[in-house]
Amino acid sequence: MNERLKELIGRLEIKHSLSLEEYEYLIENRCEEAAKLLAEKAVRVRQEIYGRDVYVRGLIEFSNICKNDCLYCGIRRSNKDCDRYRLSEEDILSCCEQGYELGFRTFVLQSGEDGYFTDEILCPLIRKIKSLYPDCAVTLSLGERSRESYQRLFDAGADRYLLRHETADKAHYERLHPAEMSFDHRMQCLRDLKEIGYQTGCGFMVGSPFQTAHMLAEDLKFIETFRPQMCGIGPFIPHKATPFKDEPGGGLELTCYLLSIIRLIVPDVLLPATTALGTIHPTGREKGILSGANVVMPNLSPVSVRKKYELYDNKICTGEESAECRNCLSLRMESIGYHVVTDRGDVKRLLT
Ligand code: SAH
């Protein structure tokens, strides 16, 4: 590894910041030694703040109906082969009940942008979950809504919100989304969420079509300035019913390299080793944790719908019961010396 790389990694660890050009250099000059050094530092920083605890989030994919047409996504509205479903309130509550039994203390309600789920429907549901499980956090991942709607859902008790920015490069955003979607609006949503008081998560896909090292550097710069409480990154995986079906997917090594860098930029960030990472490699999530991640998000959705919430091809764990997923993940984490804990797993933020 050259001296410049060494110096950049050392400075990143101390200052949590590099210039755009320096981030780009770090990405362009990725090598095994640099990856190893970054992972060592990232693991050390994570250890100081979160120890060897891994937080679990129970993911409830409650609707795959979506008004958007994101070019990369398997549940885009143009995909006529997608078998659409919407869980009832009763179904969702029963996922929470099972999840609570299994030790989950965060429920992530995720869906396509399904117009059925108005604030009038969602607020009472959130209140109900919070009153039944007052020791649990509710995370929402419902896409773009108005600031007023985000405020109402927050007032109803939602604690966190995940909204990946997808790419911090406006021109790139426009190549991944249809013309009616707006980069500026998505970024405004993220600012609104954080201002309202949500623990807010941004994030992006690694290896998405047209992505360059420069664009990844822009993602890192955005994360540095936005300082999210959570950050979801995972490899892009092509879906057979999208225009990007023949594109190559993102890689394990680059994703883990970026996980380490993000840990050093925002030391206390809640960083998942995503299901997509587990999909491209049998021990992808373990490698993610060993690169600085500290969260896993197994599925709590009813097995009957799991295969239908197909954002990308070959998604893992679509046949397993929630209990099996939870056990399997605990074993996987133990095998590398980490422990899945029964805890809300809030961000341990010292400075805001
Ligand atoms: N509709 C909501 C949340 C659901 S999609 C929203 O817009 O936020 C959740 C995430 O899955 C997206 O943010 C995207 O980054 C990721 N995703 C979608 N298609 C994917 C693909 N083909 N490969 C990998 N990740 C994908």
Indicate if ligand 1 lies below 6 Å from the C-beta of 315: no
User: Closest ligand 1 atom, CA of 244?
Assistant: 22
User: Closest ligand 1 atom, CA of 113?
Assistant: 1
| Alpha carbon distance 100, 102 (integer Å) | 5
CA distances for 11 relative to 46, 48, 268, angstroms: 17, 18, 18
Which of 231, 311, 312, 314 has most ligand 1 atoms within 8 Å of its beta carbon, as the pocket-test mutant?
A: 311
What class does CATH assign to 3-41+53-341? alpha beta
CA 311 to ligand 1 centroid distance, Å:
6
Q: Whose CA is nearest to atom 1 of ligand 1?
A: 112
User: Closest ligand 1 atom, CA of 203?
Assistant: 15
Indicate if ligand 1 lies below 6 Å from the C-beta of 108: no
Q: What is the pTM of this model?
A: 0.98
pLDDT of residue 351: 66
CA 204 to ligand 1 centroid distance, Å:
9
**Residue 27 burial class via C-beta count within 10 angstroms: exposed 0-12, middle 13-18, buried 19 and up:** buried
pLDDT of residue 273: 98
Q: Please, which pLDDT band fits residue 350 given cuts at 50, 70 and 90?
A: confident
H or E element that contains 256: helix 252-265
Mean pLDDT in residue range 204-219:
98
Indicate if ligand 1 lies below 6 Å from the C-beta of 110: yes
Indicate if ligand 1 lies below 6 Å from the C-beta of 161: no
Edge-to-edge, what's the strand order for the sheet holding 53-56? 295-296, 53-56, 339-341
Indicate if ligand 1 lies below 6 Å from the C-beta of 109: no
User: Closest ligand 1 atom, CA of 141?
Assistant: 3
What lies within 8 Å, CB to CB, of 16 at 6+ separation is 224, 264, 265, 266, 267
pLDDT tens profile 214-261: 999 999 999 999 999 999 999 999 999 999 999 999 999 999 999 999
pLDDT tens profile 146-186: 999 999 999 999 999 999 999 999 999 999 999 999 999 99
pLDDT of residue 100: 98
Mean pLDDT of the chain: 97
